[in-house]
């Protein structure tokens, strides 16, 4: 007889569900639902008191409507009435409603808590279980406050029914997770641990989750659980398949519990007690032996359950990492699974082997499977499995096989799934650097990387190759030659041009003998037209090559500007050219970059942030830090203070630029780690940001104009901007990171707080295809000085759901600065003129970033003012001057920044001809250093 | 920990959603859609595990699923759970439903979603596994039904239902 009889349901509910199912269209369905919601609402509000049955029927209808995706904002009170009823069916449905539609209204929670209290003290096990379920499902702070002391009592009381004990264990676990401060185990600890010995396997099943969690948090207090767990495990493992009756699942004794016991043991080091340890090793051996026995059933459930235990046992062996014998057996077992016909087993074997590869005992054994793994990377149909294979290759890589593995990963990249390309690129870049013996191989690898997957090569990666080339004399000539060759290709990726620009800029002279190299400025000049932001490095580069090329270069720049004069964009470019053409910049631009002080590779830092299997372990990180240090030839230079000082002494703008970007945006990680999914939780998904204004990116753009403003799992917004006088132009790049089209894509600039600006833009295309990027241009005019920033609202539909996002646009008053050079005398004269108290704004604040001279200078230059040398009597201090151009007026500004390296503090003083400007600049800048 | 248990049909219509972590209504619906999108495009004989969708927590979470006839059963779990263990748990859940409804089909889940919730509650509580023994679960469900019957009998004899 079926346990649920189908005939005795509620007819009204069945009719309603049938109605919904018969609806021909979504509209009809919504209409029917709204009708029902109105009906229920009126019934609940009506004068006639509803009986329990009707309430139950309506609450069930609401649950059904909720499941269909409609928000339910009423009915909670009726549900509370139901759960306070004495009738089981009403109570059950009332609790269900509250568990599904959790509501944090405190008045409501108070009523629910009252009902729970009654049920807990009712001594009716069914009611007690319902109440415990409700606490475990809602798990709010108020509930923890009300019941945290009561639940342990129920759990360990001698007369509590087994089913109630089970519920109490998990209820307590939930409260411990939400409010650990309220759950005081103290006196209960030992009795809770002894639940591992309970006769009822269900109680052990529930209790072990609780004990595992508590052990993770308080390993010492709970360490007696180790011997109990071992003996329980040993009893299960050695039992005949029929001993445990109902807990035998497809001929495997208590597989779930065995797995959990093995997990619990992974919270601890190997047992110290010889007898316990011996017993455990015996268990593990038995489990490994059983894997070789012929299966007791052909059903997949049988092998599943058996292998579930086996994989947990292997995890424990790897965790202990102390029994070479077991480790090798584990590795062999996994090796068998690598070629198993079950995809699940291949997946798990690759995953487990990944951890095994880091053990010194088994690293070599893992390496013997390299061909199989490479084959998996090439032939597996399932992207999840291929991803695990890539992780494992990364983990097993060492100097002996690096070339092979990197080559395989590169060739895989050509066809890899979009979702994993960025991570693959990072891995290849790290391996290439870590195991590079000859650096020409490293340079080749990174250039290949850019060629194959240029879009996924992040700033960190291409900055790194430049750093390494600069630090190693022996590879500079090769690098210059290779990038030069690479730039001959008819189409180059933007990142290739950037790397090429920097490297030829520095070391172009090393290939000056090549007759073709006089064309370098020409070909680079053309790319200039496309990648306008690269002007500085292109010009640097051309200057390095030959004096006569320089003239060509200027001529081309001029003719290019004239040619495209119709476009006003180019006027901005022209402006930039002039700026870099000035004798001032020529002088600094021609200096060589100093060696980079060695620091932790930013790429590693980035991958470290990408958690998940296959990410770098801590030891690995340290390893590679050490290795890369010595390999770069900078290891010996890095810590040497004299070199550091030397590099600080010169002020070449290219290096300041690089360092500046790197430290201003700490590895730009928060933004560009978009596929980093962990942080989604903290904000409950991208839609959650709808109401609030996101200004995370805003402050990063005070001292720079280009970069990624915003990034989440769906969307990336990049910015390039240019300002001249009181006008600015901002290019916004909206990139769809998913494979799904965004529909109804609209953007709106909101100037409510910022009427001092005039912003014009054209609407964007309403459809953004998966993987595509669209551009929008904003023309900005500054009418008068301003403090608040304009907002950018973005709306679109992703898979039916409306996304709504509001960002602060990084338009700040300092963007309209014109630098003003002046002599010391003039500076102090003007400083004195601006002596009214309101004209000055001052802040003393703690350094949030490196106090490195170059970094500070780069930021001040980025701010847009002129950085004046030899003005302040104290050479440690920085002074700047500039004029803010608005349509209505010009505001003169002077700045003085006094660092105190010992105290790690700054004093920032601003004097401006308009007091609101002093104040605003001071606010903005105090957060930059 | 089990973060969510979702059942939807081949067209993505949700038949059961149980979240053990609090999300707002919109996010829950999006998670269901995203999960359907991820799971439904996979071939039949690829592996039963994949990394979680972005909304549910991405790399740190796995979706473990089985496809039975018209229905997908998806458990979203963190790294503390054994993948194969959860696969067995899904099987126990389905076998239990099958026993309780006698050859369970999609319609049973549609018309008795409350019952499905009650059965699930005997297995999983607050995201942790309460019981894996099918007979024990069915015993509990049976006991519930008995109580229910004794009460509904009193109701239905006296009522015109609409």
Q: How far is CA A63 from the centre of its chain?
A: 35
Any A CB within 8 A of B17 CB: yes
Does A546 have pLDDT greater than 70? no
Residues of B in contact with A263 (CB under 8 A): 80, 82
Weakest mean pLDDT among A236-245, A304-313, B125-134: A236-245
- The tokens for A163 are 């089913």
Any A CB within 8 A of B107 CB: no
Of residues B26, B84, B126, nearest to A139 (C-beta): B126
What value does the mean pLDDT take over residues A647-674? 33
DSSP state of A532: G
Any A CB within 8 A of B136 CB: yes
Round the average pLDDT of chain A to a whole number and report it. Answer: 78
Residues of B in contact with A53 (CB under 8 A): 155, 159
Say if the Cβ atoms of B126 and A174 lie within 8 Å: yes
Query: Residue B101 contacts by C-beta under 8 Å, 6 or more apart in sequence?
Result: A2, A3, A4, A6, B108, B112
Say if the Cβ atoms of B47 and A347 lie within 8 Å: yes
- Residue B107 belongs to domain spanning: 2-161
Of residues A5, A308, A799, nearest to B88 (C-beta): A308
Torsion angle of C-alpha atoms A570, A573, A578, A580, degrees rounded to 10 = -160
Of residues A348, A382, A675, nearest to B83 (C-beta): A348
Of residues A60, A343, A714, nearest to B114 (C-beta): A60
Minimum distance, in Å, between the CA of residue A292 and any CA atom of chain B: 18
What CATH number is attached to the domain comprising B79?
Answer: 3.30.450.60
Task: List all residues of chain A from 739 to 768 with a beta carbon under 8 Å from chain B.
Answer: 740
A897 backbone dihedrals φ, ψ, rounded to 5° = -120, 120
What are the tens digits of pLDDT across the range B66-104?
999 899 999 999 989 999 999 999 999 999 999 999 888
HEC string of A192-261? HHHHHHCCCHHHHHHHHHHHHHHHHHCCCCCCCHHHHHHHHHHHHHCCCCCCCHHHEECCEECHHHHHHH
Write down the pLDDT at residue A838: 82
The model's confidence at residue A476, banded by pLDDT at 50, 70 and 90, is confident
Q: What is the CATH number of domain A695-811?
A: 2.60.40.1230
Residue A43 is labelled as binding a ligand = yes
Q: Which region, left, alpha or beta, applies to residue A684 given φ > 0 means left and ψ of -120 to 50 means alpha?
A: left
What are the tens digits of pLDDT across the range A62-118?
988 988 888 888 888 888 888 898 888 889 889 999 888 877 677 888 889 999 999
Query: Residue A413 contacts by C-beta under 8 Å, 6 or more apart in sequence?
Result: A421, A424, A425, A428, A449, A452, A453
Query: For residue A842, what are the β-bridge partners?
Result: A909
Residue to test with chain A: of B59, B81, B151, most A Cβ within 10 A: B59
Minimum distance, in Å, between the CA of residue B63 and any CA atom of chain A: 11
Q: Tell me which range, A334-338, A724-728, A746-750, A825-829, is most confidently predicted by mean pLDDT.
A: A334-338
Does A490 have pLDDT greater than 80? no
Weakest mean pLDDT among A110-114, A181-185, A434-438, A694-698: A694-698
Number of domains in chain B: 1
Q: Under a CB-based contact definition with an 8 Å cutoff, are residues B2 and B81 in contact? A: yes
Write down the pLDDT at residue A516: 57
Query: Residue A99 contacts by C-beta under 8 Å, 6 or more apart in sequence?
Result: A133, A134, A137, A138
d(CA A178, CA A826): 63
Q: Tell me which range, A113-117, A561-565, A664-668, is most confidently predicted by mean pLDDT.
A: A113-117
Minimum distance, in Å, between the CA of residue A74 and any CA atom of chain B: 14
What are the tens digits of pLDDT across the range B36-57?
998 998 888 889 998 877 777 7
Q: Under a CB-based contact definition with an 8 Å cutoff, are residues B92 and B123 in contact? A: yes
Say if the Cβ atoms of B25 and A346 lie within 8 Å: no
d(CA B85, CA A726): 65
Query: Residue A296 contacts by C-beta under 8 Å, 6 or more apart in sequence?
Result: A241, A251, A302
What are the tens digits of pLDDT across the range A103-123?
767 788 888 999 999 999 998
Does A205 have pLDDT greater than 90? yes
Does A626 have pLDDT greater than 60? no
Q: How far is CA A196 from the centre of its chain?
A: 39
Q: Under a CB-based contact definition with an 8 Å cutoff, are residues A517 and A523 in contact? A: no
d(CA B38, CA A368): 34
Any B CB within 8 A of A347 CB: yes
Task: List all residues of chain A from 147 to 176 with a beta carbon under 8 Å from chain B.
Answer: 163, 166-167, 170-171, 173-174
Q: How far is CA A635 from the centre of its chain?
A: 30
Of residues A8, A63, A137, nearest to B113 (C-beta): A63
Residues of B in contact with A174 (CB under 8 A): 125-128
Of residues A17, A312, A799, nearest to B82 (C-beta): A312
Weakest mean pLDDT among A489-493, A507-511, A614-618, B79-83: A614-618
Of residues B42, B50, B88, nearest to A255 (C-beta): B88
Write down the pLDDT at residue B5: 96
- The tokens for A185 are 């185990």
The model's confidence at residue A287, banded by pLDDT at 50, 70 and 90, is very high
Say if the Cβ atoms of B127 and A174 lie within 8 Å: yes
DSSP state of A880: E
Residue A83's SS3 state is helix
Round the average pLDDT of chain B to a whole number and report it. Answer: 87
Residues of B in contact with A14 (CB under 8 A): 111
Of residues A9, A89, A688, nearest to B151 (C-beta): A89
CA angle, A775 then A776 then A777, to 5°: 125
Each domain of chain A, given as residue ranges in start order, spans 9-101, 695-811, 814-928
Any B CB within 8 A of A685 CB: yes
Q: ipTM of this model?
A: 0.92
Q: Under a CB-based contact definition with an 8 Å cutoff, are residues A696 and A670 in contact? A: yes
Write down the pLDDT at residue A658: 31
Any B CB within 8 A of A96 CB: yes
Any B CB within 8 A of A312 CB: yes
Write down the pLDDT at residue A686: 38
Write down the pLDDT at residue A498: 76
Any A CB within 8 A of B43 CB: yes
Residue to test with chain A: of B11, B44, B112, B133, most A Cβ within 10 A: B133
Write down the pLDDT at residue A579: 42
Complete DSSP assignment for A112-148: HHHHHHHHHTT--HHHHHHHHHHHHHH--HHHHHHHT
Measure CA of the first residue to CA of the last residue in chain B; give whole Å: 41
Residue B93's SS3 state is helix
Residue A290 is labelled as binding a ligand = no
Minimum distance, in Å, between the CA of residue A901 and any CA atom of chain B: 41
Any A CB within 8 A of B140 CB: yes
d(CA A402, CA A624): 14
Q: Record the pTM.
A: 0.64
Write down the pLDDT at residue A607: 66
The domain defined by A814-928 folds into TATA-Binding Protein (3.30.310)
Write down the pLDDT at residue A147: 93
Any A CB within 8 A of B149 CB: yes
Query: Residue A226 contacts by C-beta under 8 Å, 6 or more apart in sequence?
Result: A265, A268, A271, A276
* CA dist A874 → A821, A829, A853, B12 (Å): 19, 17, 14, 70
B68 or B162: which leads in pLDDT: B68
Q: Under a CB-based contact definition with an 8 Å cutoff, are residues B135 and A246 in contact? A: yes
What value does the mean pLDDT take over residues B2-30? 91
Minimum distance, in Å, between the CA of residue A277 and any CA atom of chain B: 24
Torsion angle of C-alpha atoms B101, B106, B110, B111, degrees rounded to 10 = -40
Say if the Cβ atoms of A66 and B138 lie within 8 Å: no
Say if the Cβ atoms of B88 and A301 lie within 8 Å: yes
Residue A412 is labelled as binding a ligand = no
Say if the Cβ atoms of A171 and B113 lie within 8 Å: no
User: In terms of C-beta density within 10 A (0-12 exposed, 13-18 middle, 19 or more buried), how is residue A925 classed?
Assistant: buried
Write down the pLDDT at residue A242: 59
Any A CB within 8 A of B67 CB: no
d(CA A388, CA A239): 35
Complete DSSP assignment for A689-749: GSSSEE-TTGGGGSS-S-EEEEE-SSEEEEEEEEEETTEEEEEEEEEE-SSS-EEEEEEEE
Say if the Cβ atoms of B14 and A800 lie within 8 Å: no
């Amino acid at each position: 007889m079926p346990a649920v009889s189908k005939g005795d349901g509620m007819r009204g509910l069945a009719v309603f569900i049938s109605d919904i199912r018969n609806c021909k269209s979504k509209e009809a369905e919504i209409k029917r639902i709204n009708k029902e919601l109105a009906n229920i609402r009126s019934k609940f509000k009506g004068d006639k008191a509803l009986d329990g049955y009707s309430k139950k029927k309506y609450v069930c209808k609401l649950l059904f409507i909720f499941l269909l995706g409609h928000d339910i904002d009423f009915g909670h009170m009726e549900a509370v009435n139901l759960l306070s009823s004495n009738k089981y069916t009403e109570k059950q449905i009332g609790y269900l409603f509250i568990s599904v539609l959790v509501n944090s209204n405190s008045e409501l929670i108070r009523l629910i808590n009252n009902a729970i209290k009654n049920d807990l003290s009712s001594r009716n096990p069914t009611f007690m279980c319902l109440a415990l379920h409700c606490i475990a499902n809602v798990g709010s702070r108020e509930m923890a406050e009300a019941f945290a002391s009561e639940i342990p009592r129920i759990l360990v009381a001698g007369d509590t029914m087994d089913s109630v004990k089970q519920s109490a264990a998990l209820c307590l676990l939930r409260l411990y997770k939400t409010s650990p401060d309220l759950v005081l185990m103290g006196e209960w600890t030992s009795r809770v641990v002894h639940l591992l010995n309970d006769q009822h396997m269900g109680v052990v099943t529930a209790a072990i989750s609780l004990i595992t969690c508590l052990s993770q948090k308080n390993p010492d207090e709970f360490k007696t659980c180790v011997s109990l767990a071992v003996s329980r495990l040993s009893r299960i493992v050695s039992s005949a398949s029929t001993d445990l009756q109902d807990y035998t699942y497809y001929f495997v004794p208590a597989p779930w519990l065995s797995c959990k016991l093995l997990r619990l043991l992974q919270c601890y080091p190997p047992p110290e007690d010889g007898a316990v340890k011996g017993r455990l090793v015996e268990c593990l051996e038995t489990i490994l032996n059983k894997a070789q026995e012929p299966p007791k059933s052909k059903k997949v459930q049988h092998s599943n359950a058996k292998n579930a235990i086996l994989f947990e046992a292997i995890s424990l062996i790897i965790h202990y990492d102390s029994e070479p014998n077991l480790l090798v057996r584990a590795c062999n077992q996994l090796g068998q699974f690598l070629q198993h016909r079950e995809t699940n087993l291949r997946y798990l074997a690759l995953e487990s082997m990944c951890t095994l590869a880091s053990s010194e005992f088994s690293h070599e054994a893992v390496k013997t499977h390299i061909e199989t793994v490479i084959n998996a990377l090439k032939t597996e149909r399932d992207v999840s499995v291929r991803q695990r294979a890539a992780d494992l290759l990364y983990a097993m890589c060492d100097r002996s096989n690096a070339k092979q593995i990197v080559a395989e990963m590169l060739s895989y990249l050509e066809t890899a799934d979009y979702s994993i390309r960025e991570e693959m690129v990072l891995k290849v870049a790290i391996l290439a650097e870590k195991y590079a013996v000859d650096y020409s191989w490293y340079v080749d690898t990174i250039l290949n990387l850019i060629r194959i997957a240029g879009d996924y090569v992040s700033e960190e990666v291409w900055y790194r190759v430049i750093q390494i080339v600069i630090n190693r004399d022996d590879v500079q000539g090769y690098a210059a030659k290779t990038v030069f060759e690479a730039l001959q290709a008819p189409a180059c990726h933007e990142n290739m041009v950037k790397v090429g620009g920097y490297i030829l800029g520095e070391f172009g002279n090393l290939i000056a003998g090549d007759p073709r190299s006089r064309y370098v400025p020409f070909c680079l000049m053309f790319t200039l037209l496309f990648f306008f932001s690269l002007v500085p490095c292109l010009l640097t580069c051309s200057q390095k090559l030959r004096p006569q090329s320089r003239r060509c270069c200027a001529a081309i720049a001029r003719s290019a500007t004239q040619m495209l004069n119709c476009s006003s964009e180019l006027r901005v470019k022209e402006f930039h050219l002039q700026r870099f053409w000035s004798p001032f910049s020529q002088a600094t631009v021609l200096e060589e970059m100093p060696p980079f002080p060695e620091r932790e590779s930013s790429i590693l830092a980035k991958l470290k942030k990408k958690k998940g299997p296959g990410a770098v372990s801590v030891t690995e990180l340290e390893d590679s830090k050490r290795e890369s240090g010595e390999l770069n030839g900078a290891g010996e230079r890095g810590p040497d203070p004299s070199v550091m000082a030397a590099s600080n002494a010169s002020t070449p703008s290219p290096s300041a630029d690089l360092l500046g970007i790197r430290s201003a945006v700490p590895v730009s990680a928060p933004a560009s780690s978009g596929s980093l999914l962990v942080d989604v939780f903290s904000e409950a998904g991208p839609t959650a940001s709808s109401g609030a204004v996101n200004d995370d990116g805003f402050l990063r753009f005070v001292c720079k104009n280009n970069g990624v403003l915003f990034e989440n799992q769906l969307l990336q917004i990049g910015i390039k901007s240019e300002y001249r006088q009181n006008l600015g132009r901002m290019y916004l790049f909206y990139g769809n990171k998913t494979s799904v089209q965004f529909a109804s894509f609209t953007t709106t600039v909101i100037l409510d707080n910022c009427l001092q600006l005039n912003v014009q833009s054209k609407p964007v295309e309403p459809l953004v295809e998966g993987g595509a990027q669209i551009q929008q241009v904003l023309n900005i005019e500054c009418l008068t000085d301003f403090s608040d920033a304009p907002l950018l609202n973005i709306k679109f539909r992703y898979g039916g759901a409306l996304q709504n996002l509001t960002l602060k646009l990084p338009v700040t008053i300092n963007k309209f600065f014109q630098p003003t050079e002046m002599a010391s005398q003039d500076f102090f004269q003007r400083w004195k003129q601006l002596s009214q108290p309101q004209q000055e704004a001052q802040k003393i604040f703690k350094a949030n970033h490196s106090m490195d001279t170059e970094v500070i200078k780069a930021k001040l230059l980025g701010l847009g003012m002129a950085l004046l040398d030899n003005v302040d009597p104290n050479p440690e201090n920085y002074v700047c001057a500039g004029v803010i151009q608005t349509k209505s007026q010009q505001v003169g500004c002077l700045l003085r920044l006094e660092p105190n390296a010992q105290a790690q503090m700054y004093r920032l003083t601003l004097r401006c001809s308009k007091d609101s400007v002093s104040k605003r600049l001071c606010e903005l800048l105090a957060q930059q250093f | 920990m089990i973060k969510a248990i979702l059942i939807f049909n081949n067209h993505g219509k949700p038949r059961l959603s149980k979240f053990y972590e609090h999300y707002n209504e919109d996010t829950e619906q999006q998670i269901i859609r995203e999960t359907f999108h991820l799971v439904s495009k996979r071939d039949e004989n690829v592996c039963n595990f994949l990394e979680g969708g972005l909304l549910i927590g991405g790399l740190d979470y796995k979706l473990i699923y089985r496809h039975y006839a018209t229905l997908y059963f998806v458990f979203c779990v963190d790294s503390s759970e054994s993948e194969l263990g959860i696969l067995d748990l899904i099987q126990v859940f389905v076998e239990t439903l099958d026993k309780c409804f006698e050859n369970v089909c999609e319609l049973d889940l549609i018309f008795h979603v409350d019952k499905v919730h009650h059965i699930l509650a005997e297995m999983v509580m607050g995201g942790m596994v309460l019981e894996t023994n099918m007979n024990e679960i069915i015993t509990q469900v049976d006991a519930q039904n008995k109580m229910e019957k004794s009460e509904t009998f009193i109701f239905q004899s006296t009522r015109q239902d609409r």
